[in-house]
Amino acid sequence: MKIVILDAYTSNPGDLSWDGLSELGELHVYERTETPELVVERCKGAEIVLTNKTILSAEILNQLPRLLYIGVLATGYNVVDFEAARKQHIVVTNIPAYSTDSVAQATFAHILNITNRVGDYADGIAHGKWEQSKDFSYLSYPLHELTGQTIGIVGLGNIGTKVAKIALAFGMKVIAFTSKEQEALPEGIVRMNMDDLFETADIISLHCPLTESTRHLVNKDRLATMKPNAIIINTGRGPLVDDQALADALNAGTIQAYGADVITQEPPRDGNPLLSARNAFFTPHIAWATFEARQRLIDIATANVKAFISGSPQNVVEF
H or E segment and range at residue 30: none
Q: Are 260 and 110 in contact (CB under 8 A)?
A: yes
Question: Each residue of 195-223: pLDDT tens digit?
Answer: 999 999 999 999 998 889 999 999 999 99
User: Coil, strand, or helix at residue 36?
Assistant: helix
Q: Where are the beta strands (DSSP E) in the chain?
A: 2-5, 26-29, 48-51, 69-72, 91-93, 150-154, 173-177, 189-191, 203-206, 231-234, 257-260, 280-282
Tell me the percentage of the chain whose pLDDT exceeds 90: 95
Q: What pTM was computed for the model?
A: 0.91
Mean pLDDT of the chain: 96
Q: What residues are labeled active site?
A: 237, 266, 285
Domains recognised in the chain with CATH numbers:
2-94+292-309 (3.40.50.720), 100-278 (3.40.50.720)
d(CA 76, CA 188): 29
Looking at residues 44-64, what average pLDDT do you find?
97
